[in-house]
Amino acid sequence: MLLHLSTWPEVEAYLQQSTGIILPIGSTEQHGPTGLIGTDAICAEAIAKGVGEATQALVGPTLNVGMALHHTAFPGTISLQPSTLIRVIKDYITFLAKSGFTTFFFINGHGGNIATLKAAFSETYAHLADLNLANSDRIRCRVGNWFMCPSVYKLAKELYGQSEGSHATPSEVAVTQYLYPESIKKASLNPNVAKGHPIYGAANFRHNYPDGRMGSDPSLATPDHGKKLYELAVKELSQSYLEFLNQSVF
């Protein structure tokens, strides 16, 4: 059930059954010479929809832009500053909590979002405690990173080994190929891909990772791999969501 394809009376009815919601969050950032700039948002959105169908959960709108400051020296990247993203997350959760939602499961497609999301959750819990909401002490947030699901990670390693790398990975590229087969991009990739550099500012990142990849060989990706990875992610995150939802708060 997608929030964007629902009416408010349908949401009101849903809230009688469940106070959980799934929120996909991605990023708009370079993914190497062949990866789509929307990769992280595309994957998070599709997997969240899959989880929503599998669990009867409501799925909110996708946060298309996340925390990608280190990628901003590549054209086409958009980022929120962490302090902006904290405010955005706080606004999302606050108004949904006023609607009656208590259980927020963010399906995340971008490692760079994790720290800021966690900071935002802490700030939001404290903010909500200062309002007089009936349910403010029942508010719970969690991040589910599809690319860190053990089953996904295992298959990626089997398929790609060291060539999985850590950004513009064949596994995330494969998922986008499965979802958008008409947008599969080709380019000759330098086999000596950069890897192992820590991440600091944007200019430094581009210097160290000149084509945007971090140790990955996305040419190994296939749509069929993508389908398998997608299905594993949906299955595992569905389970995670239901466990989270059914956990007692106190």
Could you tell me where the beta strands, DSSP code E, fall in 29-93?
Answer: 58-59
8 A C-beta contact, residue 60 and residue 5: no
Q: Provide the minimum distance between the beta carbon of 88 and its own copies in the complex, in angstroms, as a whole number.
A: 6
Can residue 51 be called a binding residue for its own copies (CB under 8 A)? no
Q: Which is nearer to its own copies, 120 or 229 (CB)?
A: 120
Can residue 116 be called a binding residue for its own copies (CB under 8 A)? yes
How many whole angstroms separate alpha carbon 153 and alpha carbon 137?
34
Q: Which is nearer to its own copies, 162 or 203 (CB)?
A: 203
The DSSP output letter for 214 is B
Which stretch, 47-55, 83-91, 157-165, 225-233, contacts its own copies (CB under 8 A)? Answer: 83-91
Cα 132 to chain centroid distance, Å, stands at: 31
Can residue 30 be called a binding residue for its own copies (CB under 8 A)? yes
Which stretch, 48-56, 65-73, 158-166, 232-240, contacts its own copies (CB under 8 A)? Answer: 65-73
Q: Write out the binding residues for its own copies, residues 148-207 only, by CB under 8 A.
A: 180, 183, 185, 187, 198, 200-204, 207
Can residue 83 be called a binding residue for its own copies (CB under 8 A)? yes
| Residue 117 DSSP SS3 | helix
Which stretch, 47-55, 127-135, 223-231, 234-242, contacts its own copies (CB under 8 A)? Answer: 127-135
Residue 106: φ, ψ to 5°: -90, 120
Summarize the chain as % helix, strand, coil (round to 5). Answer: 55, 10, 35
Q: Which of 51, 57, 86, 155 binds its own copies (CB under 8 A)?
A: 86
CA atoms within 13 A on the CB side of 100: 10
- For residue 79, what are its two tokens? 């980022």
Q: Which of 20, 22, 25, 37 binds its own copies (CB under 8 A)?
A: 37
| Residue 145 DSSP SS3 | strand
Q: Which of 65, 156, 175, 245 binds its own copies (CB under 8 A)?
A: 65
Q: Which is nearer to its own copies, 38 or 155 (CB)?
A: 38
